[in-house]
Amino acid sequence: MRIFNFFRPAQPAKPESSAHQAKERLQIVMAHERANRDGPDFLPLLQQELLAVIAKYVDVDQNKVEVKLDRAKDVSTLEVNIELPSRKPETNRRRPVLQGATSSP
């Protein structure tokens, strides 16, 4: 049926084609998976240790910790947002961070 296809040579996927996008997405995600295949799942541990360090100085709510990741071809970014509690002026529990650190009870 496709008589016009006869005149069209076979072409590799164009950069904007969906097949090209599929290949690129797979390459990115699989490169990361292969690299981490035998290693431990470090993100939960990293988060626990980061929190433990921060908790030494301020009260942090576990639920107010946001971890964002963006994997790209050459570089990945890990973004950790920790919401710190607002300081109440009267209570000395939330003194400036460094002071609290040196004079912990």
Which residues contact other proteins (rule: CB under 8 A)?
1-5, 18-19, 21-22, 25-26, 28-29, 33, 36-37, 41, 43-44, 47-48, 62-63, 65-72, 78
Shortest Å distance, C-beta 81 to other proteins: 11
* Three state DSSP letters for 43-89: HHHHHHHHHHHHHCCCCCCHHHEEEEEEECCCCEEEEEEECCCCCCC
Tokens describing residue 100: 């609290």
For other proteins, give the closer residue by CB, 70 or 90.
Answer: 70
For other proteins, give the closer residue by CB, 40 or 105.
Answer: 40
